Amino acid sequence: SAVISQKPSRDICQRGTSLTIQCQVDSQVTMMFWYRQQPGQSLTLIATANQGSEATYESGFVIDKFPISRPNLTFSTLTVSNMSPEDSSIYLCSVEGNAGTYEQYFGPGTRLTVT
Amino acid sequence: DAKTTQPTSMDCAEGRAANLPCNHSTISGNEYVYWYRQIHSQGPQYIIHGLKNNETNEMASLIITEDRKSSTLILPHATLRDTAVYYCIVSGAGNKLTFGGGTRVLVKP
């Protein structure tokens, strides 16, 4: 299974600012995913990030608000732009398992509080 | 992706088998049933998946009905560390995962 780390693990930010979250994987993966988990809620997929192409965003999420980079096969960033208190959530990245398997492996998450 | 229906919560006794049901009556022929769990303050953890045959691994067993409209995740000997939210997800192979509300499982001593 892949080992995924995220930075920062948590942060408290002021409204109107931006935060970039990093996701590092210990092996090369094609697809990486970014999720949001609002307080007390389930996970919602924000976007899928493939190396070498633009991220594909789900309905309700736009690139201007959540720009994503995927510079190589082991790393991705998600930026939460112009933050408001409604952006307070846990943000998680995940990766696909080995080819031929269908599971995803998740990072520990980044807990963001916007004041 | 097909929708799933799970009980909101359930309690289990430590050391006993925990049987977690999931309904997915609109599942299509190429969609898999996945189970994940999320322990408090952690990212979700993959448990098991299946297409139409029953599956077993070191964590759990997955029983899928013949018509594939429902399934049951079985934790054979629940421990306190199995307390978590369990998500049943239906998705095509390699497709994105759509998480529902899940079942909040509390294992009691």
The answer to whether B105 and B82 have CB atoms below 8 angstroms apart is: yes
Best A102, A105, A110 member to test B by mutation, with max B CBs in 10 Å, is: A102
Closest CA–CA distance from residue B79 to any residue of chain A (Å): 22
**Rounded distance between C-alpha atoms, residue B19 and residue A85, angstroms:** 39
Above 80 in pLDDT, residue A102?
Answer: no
Best B37, B46, B85, B104 member to test A by mutation, with max A CBs in 10 Å, is: B46
List the single residue in B93, B101, B102 with the smallest CB-CB distance to A102. Answer: B93
Closest CA–CA distance from residue B46 to any residue of chain A (Å): 6
* Tokens describing residue B59: 């964590």
Q: What is the pLDDT of residue B41?
A: 87
- Mean pLDDT over residues A96-108, rounded? 79
**Rounded distance between C-alpha atoms, residue A104 and residue A49, angstroms:** 14
> For A49, which residue in chain B has the nearest alpha carbon?
B96
Whose tokens are 């919602």? That residue is A44
B91 vs B61, more confident: B61
Radius of gyration of chain A (CA): 13
Above 80 in pLDDT, residue B94?
Answer: no
Q: What is the pLDDT of residue B8?
A: 96
A43-50 and A31-37 beta bridge pairing? antiparallel
Above 80 in pLDDT, residue B9?
Answer: yes
The answer to whether A112 and A13 have CB atoms below 8 angstroms apart is: yes
Above 60 in pLDDT, residue A60?
Answer: yes
Closest CA–CA distance from residue B44 to any residue of chain A (Å): 6
The answer to whether A85 and A115 have CB atoms below 8 angstroms apart is: yes
**CB neighbourhood size of A55 (10 A):** 21
- Mean pLDDT over residues B25-43, rounded? 92
Above 80 in pLDDT, residue A83?
Answer: yes
Above 80 in pLDDT, residue A100?
Answer: no
Q: What is the pLDDT of residue A61?
A: 97
- Reported as a single tens digit per residue, the pLDDT across B41-84 is 899 999 999 999 899 999 999 999 999 999 999 999 999 999 99
**Rounded distance between C-alpha atoms, residue B84 and residue B55, angstroms:** 21
B34/A103 CB distance under 8 A: yes
> How is the beta sheet containing B9-13 ordered, strand by strand?
B9-13, B103-108, B84-92, B31-38, B45-50
**Rounded distance between C-alpha atoms, residue B90 and residue B75, angstroms:** 19
Above 70 in pLDDT, residue A23?
Answer: yes
The answer to whether B61 and B74 have CB atoms below 8 angstroms apart is: yes
Best A6, A42, A45, A111 member to test B by mutation, with max B CBs in 10 Å, is: A42
What residues of A are in the B interface, CB distance below 8 Å? 1, 4, 31, 33, 35, 42-45, 48, 58, 92, 94, 96-97, 102-109
Q: What is the pLDDT of residue A67?
A: 97
The answer to whether A57 and A63 have CB atoms below 8 angstroms apart is: yes
